[in-house]
Structure 1
Amino acid sequence: MAEPNPIEQRLDRLYEDWDDFAAAPAAKLLRWQVVDNEWRMIELFFRVEDEEDSGQLPVIFVRLDAPYHDARTYTQALYDQLSAQIEDSLEQIGEGFIAPPTTGHALADLLGLADALADVAGEALELLVLVFTPTEVLDPEEWASWLGLCVDRMPPSVRGIVIDELGSPTTAPLDHLANARPEQLRSELADLAMLDVGVELADHSCRQGPDADYRRCYAQMFAAIGRSQLDAAVHAGAEAQAIARAQGWGPLTVAVDLALGSGHLQTQEHERAIELFHRAREQALELPDEQAPALALQAQFGMGAAAIAAGALPQGAQLYAEAAQLAEASEDSRSQLDALRMQAHCLEFDGKPEQAWLAASAGFGVAEGMDEETRRSSTLAWLGVAAERLASRVHAQPPWPELRTRLEAWIGPSWRALGSGEVSP
């Protein structure tokens, strides 16, 4: 039997965590504690279990991602999400499923509906698991208290899971909950060492040749960047670039500098980040490759981000203006609009509202030529919020009412909430 690959090995660890939790009779809530990108492996765990051919457990995992603003609206939103998922799955569940009558007590209704779903699934199912992954938690203490109440009232056929990114605002409240309910809430440290996955996959493949050598060096560089070990990252990156140059793999040479630029930006070495992004852009522009414009644009945006992080707003404005030109030349209207938005941002916070307004207005001009889908997937709403703010600071009366009307026609009445981050795209 073939040895499991590194991804399969990590999935096996998650199954071990689940087995330990499921075997504990008093346990009601599994708290998976994650760092780095470990949540992606947990997401893969759920996807595997969602598939009939690959699922191993006699369990239904129901993911509920409503944001937590307050207990009342949250519980009702979870009930609505669970009801919608049942409605979408009636063919598998059976047309005979009847939701229990509501009682007016939202939490009792939610858990009653979950219990009814577990019951109708029959003997093949041992548990129904509610996976709580709120997209936003306004009050972590309140949310943890709500989870405690939910745990207290869960029927035997229902359990729960939360994913806790260590160091996030929810960690301390969940610690308190775990200490108060040591038998009901079981915490498992995922400990999946995701930064090492790329290197392990390269080693596991046992392939030989330049392609395998490049992948191995790139993975080593990526892992070192994740640990902020930049000397090691630069060394591995140089080896990867040497292989890529010898093979004539221009885009892969550029990819190394883009990654190293991001690594130096992450550790606030802004000048070095700009140097690396600049080198990546220059190399990309020389490539006779269809990927060249996108790589050059990515590098240009990287330089702009590093300039803003360094507080060099005039430099950032110039870099984003150049990014807008690159995007226009490659007919990438979405990136062109975003570059103009960031140019306006730099100019506004550098105390130049009139120039910022001109950049923002140019962004609206780009939006005019977009199709509906491109507009909705762009940062136009964010540009609108900035333009509304700038309109009150520009001496000459700008045509803001007309632009606002266009925004509402293009995106809808919620453009301001979307651009302010109050609602999800």
Structure 2
Amino acid sequence: MANPKNPVEKRIDDLAALWLQACEAPEVRVIVWRVPGNAGRMMAAFFEAQKHLEPASTPDLFQNFDAPFETGFGYSRELMGALRDGYVASRGELKQQGLPIDWRGAHGEYPDSAAGVLAMFQSFAEYYQAQMRYFAPVLSPSQVASSSGLEQWLDAALRAPIPDRLRLCLVDNVEDKRWQALAERHGKAVRVIDAPIDMFDIARQTAAQSSGGAAPSTAYRAMLADVMTLLEKGSAAQTAARADKAMKLVQREQWHDQQVVLHMAVAGAHLKQAEHSEAIHRYRAARECALAAEAARHPAGTNLIMQTWFGEAGVWLSAQQPVRASETYAQAASVARRVPNAMFALEGLRMAGYCLAQDGQVEPARERYLAAVAEAKAMPPADRPLTTLALLLQDMLRLQDAPRAERIAQCAPAYQQDVAEALQQAEAQSARLGPQPAPAALEKIEKELLTRYELAFRTLCDQRERLIGGGDVFFRKVVALARDYLHPAWNGVPEVKHPLDKELLEWSQPPQFAQLPEPDDLLDTANTTTKPTPAVPAEASV
């Protein structure tokens, strides 16, 4: 007798049935999968399963394309390149399976347009028609520079129209319904599949189906799935009631780490409802359990203690008690050093300084910031960009000269506006070329676009360097420190990288960099201003 399908496999079958139903209408050319925001991994599993399950639950081939979208012609080029490269890379595997490997369309000439993409995709689908009914490209750009440009590209694709052996796929979620307007514009050509995948229900069913019968671990997994479901959808009281039932089991089994998990889940539920005192009580209960885990030599014990401090600090900040929040973040940083975790030590001290700055305590805030700088100094250089060091340095600039730091920050939106206008102009110019644009005409548009990018970037850099150069000595030392610790062209947050991803030595026109003092004494100060972390009282009212 065959093993029963697990909950994930059952959902894959459900999704396949929805897909097959949606494809029954011959006029459908684009299918929008509408799922809950947390169901992305389930959709990815469904698409992947159609390639590997034998037999697959649909007769169609789904292929994900995550090429970033910048311009319509550039996106078209990226999509065709991705299919071509993927095909060439898989020829060995196809040959082993006894499938033909001489698809000439891989090296065909197609225009850089939506129509060109569809022609190439159709060629692929027709060549392998014995292996698939439809080729179903899943368009999920990793980045989108212009949402309106992407919609225009899809409009052009639907005007083409999409060939019979293709079904383009898009994914949105029930929270934003990103592609609803597209569906309304194109009527029957776009079908929306509402797929109410309940990931918490899947987790609950998976726990119930797990082997072990009535074993404590099996029962606990089911209980924990319920707690997480209520944390997402229920009230704090409901979450607490369910967690307390699970707590009896984990206390009996002396699973200290899971006691921490349950207490922190309930604390999060209370915080969602702005019940600050109750949240703090739960975080402190979680800490007692984490201390017990550490005493029992649990490998994650110290890390769990750190997490309870960060959680409590967030509650104090939410409750608009920045001084208490600062003290608690400092405690979190102290424990992070014991883990050891330099990244969280830096973040705890940064937030401790941020909270004091919110309270108007300039010098104490600066001391905490400088202590965080000391944590960064001790890190391997490659680790620093992975931390919140850039935010820390911007916080220091803001503390020293808030108006100047804000003007530096506002250069970024101005740059983005320049880029958006350049993109819009390039899209309009390429659209006038029609579905079969001449390569030379596109090359001219693209060259002008890149020139405008570099001009906008140079303007931003020049503006920021003037602002930096006008700052006082301490302000400029912080920037010098950033250029030592992060990269030599750092000029503030939000950071704007070179639009063509060029290194500084490759920039066509580097800015006139501001003269900066050596930051060494700033680092010396950081090593001498760290004070003992004050103890946070065990009991306090919010």
The TM-score, its normalising length taken from structure 1, stands at 0.85
Inter-CA distance 274–77: structure 2 relative to 1 (3 Å threshold):
farther
Greater alpha carbon shift after TM alignment, 386-395 vs 334-343: 386-395
State yes or no: 1:374 paired with 2:383.
yes
CA contact (8 A) 1:72 1:106 kept: yes
| Counterpart in the other structure of 1:100 | 108
Which of 185, 189, 192 aligns to 2:197? It is 192
State yes or no: 1:204 paired with 2:281.
no
| Counterpart in the other structure of 2:334 | 325
| Counterpart in the other structure of 2:230 | 224
CA drift of 1:372 comes to: 4.9
Q: Distance in 2 between matches of 1:67 and 1:243?
A: 48
SS of structure 2 residue aligned to 1:182: helix
CA drift of 1:65 comes to: 2.9
What stretches of structure 2 of length at least 5 have no aligned partner? 95-100, 403-470, 500-542
1:98-247 alignment, distance < 5 Å: 98-103=106-111, 105-121=112-128, 123-137=130-144, 140=147, 143-153=150-160, 154-168=162-176, 171=177, 174-205=179-210, 207-247=213-253
SS of structure 1 residue aligned to 2:353: helix
SS of structure 2 residue aligned to 1:23: coil
SS of structure 1 residue aligned to 2:169: strand
SS of structure 1 residue aligned to 2:167: strand
| Counterpart in the other structure of 1:403 | 481
SS of structure 1 residue aligned to 2:234: coil
Q: Distance in 1 between matches of 2:90 and 2:354?
A: 46
- Letter of the structure 1 residue corresponding to residue 164 of structure 2: P
Q: Distance in 1 between matches of 2:273 and 2:55?
A: 41
CA drift of 1:420 comes to: 7.7
State yes or no: 1:253 paired with 2:256.
no
Could you tell me the percent identity over the aligned residues? Answer: 23
Inter-CA distance 295–119: structure 2 relative to 1 (3 Å threshold):
same
| Counterpart in the other structure of 1:35 | 36
Q: Distance in 2 between matches of 1:366 and 1:88?
A: 45
CA drift of 1:327 comes to: 0.3
Q: Distance in 1 between matches of 2:18 and 2:328?
A: 48
Which of 267, 270, 275 aligns to 2:273? It is 267
- Letter of the structure 1 residue corresponding to residue 168 of structure 2: G
Q: Distance in 2 between matches of 1:355 and 1:54?
A: 66
CA drift of 1:27 comes to: 1.2
CA drift of 1:379 comes to: 2.9
- Over residues 188-212 of structure 1, what are the superposed CA-to-partner deviations in whole Å (9 max), with x where a residue is unaligned? 1111222222322233337103222
SS of structure 2 residue aligned to 1:296: helix
Greater alpha carbon shift after TM alignment, 326-335 vs 142-151: 142-151
Q: Distance in 2 between matches of 1:264 and 1:359?
A: 29
CA contact (8 A) 2:30 2:168 kept: yes
- Letter of the structure 2 residue corresponding to residue 44 of structure 1: A
CA drift of 1:139 comes to: 5.7
Which of 309, 312, 331 aligns to 2:321? It is 312
CA contact (8 A) 1:385 1:420 kept: no
Q: Distance in 1 between matches of 2:490 and 2:159?
A: 38
The TM-score, its normalising length taken from structure 2, stands at 0.68
CA drift of 1:142 comes to: 5.1
CA drift of 1:344 comes to: 3.3
Q: Distance in 2 between matches of 1:176 and 1:305?
A: 39
What stretches of structure 1 of length at least 5 have no aligned partner? none
CA drift of 1:241 comes to: 0.8
- Letter of the structure 2 residue corresponding to residue 117 of structure 1: F
SS of structure 2 residue aligned to 1:181: helix
CA contact (8 A) 2:207 2:221 kept: yes
CA contact (8 A) 1:36 1:194 kept: no
Q: CA RMSD in A?
A: 3.2
CA contact (8 A) 2:483 2:489 kept: no
Inter-CA distance 318–421: structure 2 relative to 1 (3 Å threshold):
farther
CA drift of 1:301 comes to: 1.6
CA drift of 1:25 comes to: 1.8
CA drift of 1:24 comes to: 2.6
| Counterpart in the other structure of 1:351 | 360
Inter-CA distance 89–274: structure 2 relative to 1 (3 Å threshold):
farther
- Over residues 249-299 of structure 1, what are the superposed CA-to-partner deviations in whole Å (9 max), with x where a residue is unaligned? 111111101111222223333332222122212221232222111111122
Q: Distance in 2 between matches of 1:191 and 1:421?
A: 39
SS of structure 1 residue aligned to 2:474: coil
- Over residues 124-173 of structure 1, what are the superposed CA-to-partner deviations in whole Å (9 max), with x where a residue is unaligned? 133222212234556655544432322332222322111111222xx2x6
